[in-house]
A and B are shown apart, each in its own frame.
Chain A
Amino acid sequence: MRFVFKTDYEDDIRLFPHSGYIWSYGSLLVLLAIAPFVLSSYMMSQLVFVCIYATVGVGLLILTGFTGQASLGHAAFLAIGAYTTAYLQQFGVPFLVYFLAAGVLTGIIGAIVGFPALRLQGIYLVIATISFAFIVEEILARWESVTHGNEGMRVKAIQILGTPVPRDSPAFYFLCLGVLILTIIGSLNLLRSPTGRAFVAIRDSETAARSMGVNVSLYKVKSFAISAAIAGFAGCLFAHKLSFISPEMFTLQLSIEFIIVIIIGGAFSLHGAVLGAIFVVMVDPFLTFLKDDIPGVIGGLAATFGASTAKAAQIKDSVAAFASANGLKGAIYGIIIILFVLFEPLGLYGRWLKIKLFFQLFPLYKRATFKRQKIYVKSERNR
């Protein structure tokens, strides 16, 4: 087992506590760099969605995971970023300008949403953010002079220095990957400086944060603004990836998917956003696999185990009917969230940490290491 021996205050600050991190992240980067030359175009497309979802996930983690303010309105922030992109593109604005505008405008709107949130907590805040998302959805559908209502808007390919970057090109993938990596680095920087610590302080005890001199209202608004701005940047890429946007793409379902990203991934570390995004994006290919291949496999199995041809075909049909049933995706999400909340509240990243510790301590690992313990009840009267 590795023991990090600290000899300098720098050791508490650095992003990579020891050389092992550089090796593992380095090799991951190499893998991601060669991915477009190895993977099929369908998988590349999914990988781009992973990048975009993970970017939104990082933003949502800052707000929900680190500042403790739940939001079910992130689809709306994504929508604002996407529509800013589509709107500005009509006037021939260059990519870099409307990309920044998408982030900044969404950030400002995020700050405005943050103000009513100052007085709300827990479930009430969730309801407020849902209402915000519905308002945005409605505005997008009705403000036809700008958003073209339910007809939606076309988004042209990105032009960088006169060369177009098509949405299924490796260059677009690297752009999304770059935005994700920059977002992660920026967020890590934020989290190791006073602002990030103030966020965590607000999450764990507002009273104590206040008495340490943290301007709680200001930092909540800041957190909303940062989180929304990140979603806005992601929205710009999202619009380009889809090449067509309309209000029904940014529904509550999408906000819930973002929440799933951080619940499944693990809400206490940025790793969670990436793992959760991989999970959420890969549910679709998994379902396609379920629809296309599983009925045949099960039918074949039934035949080999002595079922008559007619019976096997019948089994195959009923499995196929089940696999292509409406709402199967929702049901799978639901079941998985319940299982995670019950058995792995720390998410996929928490599971990974446990597996890692198991091998580090082998054969001395104790299950009790991660056991949740009951602690004394904290007084709530000073809220």
Chain B
Amino acid sequence: MSYFRAENISLHFGGLKAVDSVSFAVEKGEILSIIGPNGAGKSSIFNLVSRIYPPTSGRIYFEDQDITQEPAFGIARLGIARTFQNIELFENATVLSNLLVGRHRHSTTQLWQELLFLPSVRATEKAHRRRVEQVIEFLDLEAYRDKLISGLPYGVRKVIELARALCTEPKLILLDEPSSGLNVEETDDMSFWIRDMKTELGITVLMVEHDMTLVNRVSDRVIALNYGRVLAMGSPAEVQVHPDVVAAYLGA
């Protein structure tokens, strides 16, 4: 049984088939990239997996559990974290509190305890803070801890989004175009981090990406999509020379 499995998932907006009966599986500990031209349905697949959209049909399994009917906030509690293509950070909060929201799924304190800020709350808060600091160190964000998001440059925000996802201690992380808007150096950093996430933290990565250099460097397997359908699946090298993929990108 695969670690994560999508079976014939579809997403239709009226007559438009954004995702048309797509099936794929992610093995534990691998980095799987989804590529495809604009409008191929890559981000839609992410939104289906993280339950922002309900699928028109099909089923999604994670660790042999059917998560198709799980509410969106339940997905995070199962250990699936995600980043967004158009950064969705909490603009008017500090970097630290953004990252601490990532710890939300681990919070155990009750409302009345929080109102009084009992010693137990203080202790768990410090524990959360310690975990967040590990992520800050992992992604070199020390300089930005107390900065407001609204004043930070795009490249840094991108990293903070990744950091927030890591703060949830995910088993599976969904990265929606991690390198978009980054310069060459930042993309390099990103590729190291993605590989470190796999090797050091043992996180399985599902990634949508346009930058083929990054895809080639980090992916174990690649899925190519077009018009909501799977064109090809396999190693990065195989997929890139697949005739359908070439046709989709360059025209037949």
Contact = CB atoms under 8 A, between A and B. Distances in A.
A228 interface: no
A119 interface: no
Given A189-B114, A195-B114, A212 B125 contact: no
A209 B84 CA distance: 12
A215 B101 CA distance: 12
A213 B109 contact: no
Contacts of B151: 373
Interface in A229-243: none
Contact of B89 (A12, A204, A376): A204
A195 B73 contact: no
B137 interface: no
B117 A378 contact: no
A172 B71 CA distance: 49
A281 B150 CA distance: 34
A211 B125 contact: no
B104 A213 contact: yes
Contacts of A13: 122, 125-126, 129
A190 B115 contact: yes
Interface in A152-210: 186, 189-190, 192-198, 200-201, 203-205, 207-210
B48 to A, nearest CB: 12
Contact of A190 (B52, B114, B125): B114
Nearest to A8: B126
Given A190-B115, A194-B107, A197-B101, A12 B73 contact: no
A86 interface: no
B251 to A, nearest CB: 28
A324 B125 CA distance: 55
Interface in B88-110: 88-93, 96-97, 100-105, 107, 109
Contact of A10 (B82, B88, B102, B126): B126
A12 B126 CA distance: 9
Sorting the interface of chain A by its residue count into under 10, 10 to 19, 20 to 34 or 35 or more gives 35 or more
A193 B84 contact: no
Given A9-B129, A190-B114, A211-B76, A200 B105 contact: no
B131 to A, nearest CB: 11
A195 to B, nearest CB: 5
A197 B97 CA distance: 7
B168 interface: yes
B188 to A, nearest CB: 24
Nearest to B130: A9
Contacts of B85: 379
B73 A210 contact: yes
A216 interface: yes
Interface string A359-383: 0000000000000010110110010
A222 interface: yes
A215 to B, nearest CB: 5
Interface residues of B, number: 49
A194 B103 contact: yes
B135 to A, nearest CB: 13
Contacts of A198: 101, 104
A320 interface: no
Contact of B88 (A9, A375, A378): A378
Given A210-B52, A210-B73, A378-B86, A193 B114 contact: yes
Contacts of A192: 117, 125
Contact of A195 (B97, B111, B154, B168): B111
Contacts of B141: none
A211 B50 contact: yes
Contacts of B52: 207, 210-211, 382
A134 interface: no
Interface string B150-168: 1100100000000010001
A208 B89 contact: yes
Nearest to B121: A193
B75 interface: yes
12 contacts: A13-B129, A189-B117, A190-B111, A190-B115, A197-B93, A197-B104, A203-B90, A204-B90, A211-B72, A213-B73, A375-B150, A378-B87
- In order of increasing CB-CB distance, the 4 nearest A-B pairs are A213-B76, A213-B105, A204-B90, A194-B107
